[in-house]
Amino acid sequence: MSSPKVRIKSKKPIHATVGIDFGTSFTKIAYRFEGNQDNKVYPLEINAGAENGYLMPSLMAFDEGRILLGQDAENFLSENKWGKGARYLKMLFLGANKSMGMTDKAEYKDNMHRFNAYCTECNLSEELRNPGYMIAIYLSWIIKTAQKSIREAVSRQKDDREIIFSYNICLPIDSYEQKDVLNNCEKTLDIIRDLMGQDGYSLDFDLLEYISLLWQKDFSSYEDTQKRKPDINLVPEAVALTACYTESLGAEYKIHGVIDIGAGTVDFSIFNINNEDGEKTINWYNAVTIPGGVDEIEADLFKFFAKQGEYLSSRQISLKLTKLSLKAYPQSEETIEIVETKLKKIWEDSRFSVWGPAYDKNTDARSWDKDMVKVLICGGGSDLPGTEDIFGQCWYEPSWGPYPVEKLRTNPRNFAGDPHIFHRMIVAYGLTIPTPTLSDFNLPKDCPDQTPKRIYAKTERDGYYGAVYNDTH
């Protein structure tokens, strides 16, 4: 990766905006310097030496009272029982307050049961088995690691100026709109700020004890919450994705469905880009996080090969899925069918939970014709076979589609990294846009009715399942 060229000649501090895409399985980071003429965005190789240095495992492991994080945790768990580690922290933490699109809370309880079962191998007391405590430790470590790497990159340019950091961390938009979830996430940020203000601390069980005490503290009593350092902000994931897309030359004035196929979840966002009096405006119609992603597909592939007497490691399964995505290797029809069956289920789950409420924001059926809608796919599962055909189907009336489907790989000119990794860095890239700009988006709960005014009476078109406005799904 090329080192950043900071072209500001004055001795004023450098302002760096760091985007942290905290994913279910991996964390990705990008950053930019405000004031640079080229406005370059740099992906951070936070996991140098790994197969993909831009991906840091969102993992924690416990070794005799010591806490291991990221790649160290993955290396440890590859040689020890999974019961000595904690994964899916993000899903569990958010799910404690909201079921993240689950049909009921049974799935969350099952995941929490598995989480507690993992932790019993660590001799960790039940009161400390809190995903929120663990996320605070993981993210404070990620931020410190990012700070160090960015300072070293600037230092290599013989620049000794102070760097003032701002951090934008993503959160699913439907979680962002839930007051209880958002309040607990803000509490986690307050604890991270507390940890960042300390000269040092040991990564052990005592740190979890300390955080459990901090969790009871009322941080709102601070005299001026706006001046708390460092500057850390929560940003809806969909906002970052859209900000990235709308910065590109490929942005169009129409309804967009963005589908981010991640490891543990699939995030859907439906928004409309309008041209109002020469100004670009963006309104969200809906955003939903659905549990289940690439990890579930890998689990189904593992079961399939196990029945054939072939027991594969997670890395071998991941490699097989990569080969499926590349479409450059001969693959059995059975494996392709496993992938497509799971993707079809995701599409079915999203039809009336995602697209239906979005339609309520614009009930003009003509606005949902294939010429007026564009579907964008991104994330680690965006190259899986069948994605374009499956997610291009119209959610309601087949004749309205199929919708055009594109990979969200705009790869802006100011992205300083390898173009081939951009599809994994899209959210991190969008998060490097300063918060005042990101705050300009109209979230689903605040989005007014966008149905165009009718100039003359016209019969509402009926969908395949009956009149659209009478839909009870």
Enclosing H/E stretch for 183:
helix 179-196
Q: At what angle do helices 294-307 and 333-350 cross, to 10 degrees?
A: 150
In a domain, 423, yes or no: no
409 or 195: whose pLDDT is higher?
Answer: 195
Token representation of residue 40: 């370059």
pLDDT band at 218 (very low <50, low <70, confident <90, very high): confident
Q: Are residues 192 and 54 in the same domain?
A: yes
347/341 Cα distance (integer angstroms):
10
Tell me the average pLDDT across 281-296.
81
**Domain that includes residue 115, residue range:** 14-236
Q: Which residues pair with 465 in a beta bridge?
A: none
More confident residue, 338 or 48: 338
**In angstroms, rounded to a whole number, what is the distance separating the alpha carbons of residues 265 and 240?**
17
Q: What is the rounded average pLDDT of the residues 343-355? A: 90
User: Are 458 and 310 part of one and the same domain?
Assistant: yes
Same domain, 216 and 259: no
Q: Which of 203, 236, 269 corresponds to the end of one domain?
A: 236
**Largest separation between any pair of C-alpha atoms in the chain:** 74
pLDDT of amino acid 447: 64
Same domain, 295 and 360: yes
- In this predicted structure, the answer to whether residue 467 has a pLDDT above a threshold of 60 is no
Same domain, 223 and 372: no
Domain boundary among 236, 271, 294: 236
- Residue 241 within a domain: no
In a 10 Å sphere around its CB, with 0-12 CB exposed, 13-18 middle and 19+ buried, how is residue 402 labelled? Answer: middle
**Which tens digits make up the pLDDT trace of 55-67?**
999 989 888 888 9
pLDDT band at 247 (very low <50, low <70, confident <90, very high): low
Indicate if the alpha-carbon torsion angle 432, 435, 440, 443 is positive or negative: positive
How far is residue 96 from each of residues 90, 182, 236, measured CA to CA in Å? 10, 12, 18
In a domain, 420, yes or no: no
Question: Is 262 found in the same domain as 199?
Answer: no
d(CA 436, CA 434): 6
Looking up residue 198, the CATH number of its domain turns out to be: 3.30.420.40
Q: Is residue 123 part of a domain?
A: yes
Residues linked to residue 373 through DSSP beta bridges, in sequence order: 255
pLDDT at 398 (0 to 100): 87
pLDDT at 458 over 50: no
Return the higher-pLDDT residue of 241 and 47: 47
Q: Is residue 6 part of a domain?
A: no
Distance, in Å, from the CA atom of 384 to the CA atom of 409, rounded to the nearest integer, reads: 15
Residue 18 lies in a domain: yes
- Give 422's contacts (C-beta < 8 A, 6+ positions apart): 409, 410, 411, 415, 429
454-464 burial, b at 16+ Cβ within 10 Å, e below that, comes to eeeeeeeeebe
How many Å apart are CA 408 and CA 383, to the nearest integer? 11
- Give the residue from 207, 236, 265 where a domain finishes: 236
148 and 214 belong to one structural domain:
yes
Mean pLDDT of 22-35: 89
User: What pLDDT score was predicted for residue 191?
Assistant: 92
Least confident of 105-109, 141-145, 280-284, 384-388: 105-109
Using CA atoms of 110, 114, 119, 121 in order, give the dihedral in degrees to the nearest 10. 140
Pairwise pLDDT comparison (468 vs 380), residue with the higher score: 380
Tell me the per-residue pLDDT of 113-145, one tens digit each, with 9 for 90 and over: 666 666 667 777 878 888 889 999 999 999 999
Whether residues 358 and 453 share a domain: the answer is: yes
Same domain, 336 and 300: yes
Which residues does 227 contact at the CB level (< 8 Å), separation at least 6?
none
Q: Is the pLDDT of residue 472 over 70?
A: no
d(CA 242, CA 235): 12
The whole-angstrom separation of Cα 432 and Cα 280 is: 20
Q: Percentage of residues in the chain with pLDDT exceeding 90?
A: 22
> Which of the two residues, 316 and 389, has the higher pLDDT score?
389
Q: Is the pLDDT of residue 328 over 80?
A: no
The CA-to-CA distance between both ends of the chain, in Å, stands at: 49
- Residue 339 shares a structural domain with residue 381: yes
Burial class of 472 by CB neighbour count within 10 A (0 to 12, 13 to 18, 19+): exposed
Residue type, 349: D
Give Cα 419 distance to the centre of its chain: 19
Whether 426 maps to a domain, the answer reads: no
* pLDDT: which is higher, 34 or 211: 211
Structure tokens at 276: 């109002």
Reported as type and span, the H/E element at residue 317 is: helix 314-326
Following DSSP, what letter does each residue of 93-150 receive, concatenated? Answer: HHHTTS-TT-SSTHHHHHHHHHHHHHHGGGT--GGG--HHHHHHHHHHHHHHHHHHHH
Q: Where are the alpha helices (DSSP H) in 327-445?
A: 333-350, 356-360, 387-391, 422-431, 435-438
| Residue 293 sits in the same domain as residue 152 | no
Average pLDDT over residues 297-302: 87
Can you give the pLDDT at residue 224?
Answer: 45
As beta bridge partners, residue 442 has 283
Give the C-alpha separation, 32 to 167, whole Å. 11
User: Residues 6 or more apart from 35 whose CB is under 8 A from it?
Assistant: 8, 14, 15
Check: CB of residue 194 under 8 Å from CB of residue 213. Answer: no
Question: How many independent structural domains does the chain possess?
Answer: 2
Kindly report the average pLDDT of the chain as a whole number. Answer: 79
Asked, for residue 230, whether it belongs to a domain, the answer is yes
Q: Are residues 391 and 294 in the same domain?
A: yes
Residue 97, beta-bridge partner list = none
